[in-house]
Structure 1
Amino acid sequence: MIILGGAVHAGSLRNACEDRLGRLNLAHRFSEDDLIKAVASLVGRTIVCEPIDMRGAFSCGLRKRYADREVIYYEQNASALHRRQIIAHELSHILWEHKGEIDLADLMSDEELAGLMDWSVLGVSARTSYETDAEIEAEMMATLILQRMYRGTVMPAARPSVADERWDAIFS
């Protein structure tokens, strides 16, 4: 985290995010798949994105870190734009090399934990607030990723009829 005098310096954080994004060598126009492949190539681990039902959960996105792969879970009912934001946010944690701050024991009962125990998981992260350095860094980078994704959009639909088209029209 870039901190000057006890406060986050947004300009320095943005520059640090831009530097990390520059390492991906993404084309001017790129897709979600291009982004995932670029991050996987940079970090040397497979990245899998899985939709799951997270309604009523503490978060709309979750990342599990393994030695050989990263698994990103996102709310299956999220709009295309929200899905991109969730995935970009979790990919940003990977780019910042955040290890994961969630203690599953705080979220589940002992019985639930016993049924889920997977000793190959090295870390878990989920956005539950914007108060930690890791969440501020990941959100800034996710915002910059979406800006770059939409930078190449020529024109939105002339008459957006569904929610995804309306969101695309707003951000293009």
Structure 2
Amino acid sequence: MITDCFLDHFRRGIVYAACQDRLGELLSLLPHRFGEEELIQAVSTLIGRPIHVEPRDMKGNFCGLRERYSDREVISFERNASPLHRSQIIAHELGHILCGHEGSVRLADIPPDEELAEMIDWSVLGISARTSYETAEEEEAELTATLIIQRMYRGTVLPASSPSGANERWDALFA
């Protein structure tokens, strides 16, 4: 008899493998050591649209917000987020983009008198705004973000497994 726990573990393994596969092409565009700017540029190159990142006062509604337009993506993060939290928020929203998520918030569900509604450009095609990790899309975006951040920080400590250039070869030699 297959238990719910086993099925959940199996599903998470499939999601993990899909996220790893998805990151393969992205990581091929990035140097061994990369930061937020290089990451954003690489995702922009993959999707063929610019990605704008901006701080915003989220008024306690969300940590991050992604607005999908026909010609660009806009990622907003809580203005007061710590540097590490900011990186996780940006990577999470990039995860939505990499996973091809359309957006979890329907514009029709946002009351026009809400403060958040004043911040939205109504030409947006879709919005992703995390309030929990209960949906498959949020779980997938967060796992993608965690794998990106793990690789970003591991690259600052460990040498490249396939060094290119003199500096990376010296790092690998002495590691």
What TM-score comes out, normalization by structure 2 length? 0.77
What is residue 69 of structure 1 aligned with on the other side? Answer: 72
The aligned counterpart of 1:51 is 55
Aligned length: 151
Confirm whether residue 127 of structure 1 aligns to residue 113 of structure 2: no
Aligned residues: percent identity?
A: 63
**Residue identity matched to 2:86:** R
2:24 maps to what in 1? 22
User: What residue ranges of structure 1 are gaps of 5+ in the alignment?
Assistant: 156-172
CA distance in structure 2 between the aligned counterparts of 1:115 and 1:10, rounded to whole angstroms: 37
* 1:31 equivalent among 10, 35, 43: 35
Contact preservation (8 Å) 1:50, 1:74: yes
SS of structure 2 residue aligned to 1:146: helix
For structure 2, which runs of at least 5 residues remain unmatched after alignment?
A: 1-5, 159-175
Separation in 2, partners of 1:32, 1:64: 18
Q: Which residue of 2 aligns with 1:149?
A: 152
Deviation, structure 1 residue 153: 2.5
What is the TM-score when the length of structure 1 is the normalising length? 0.78
State the secondary structure of the residue aligned to 2:32. Answer: coil
Instruction: Please report the RMSD computed on the Cα atoms of aligned residues, expressed in angstroms.
Output: 2.4
Contact 1:104 1:113 (8 Å CA) reproduced: no
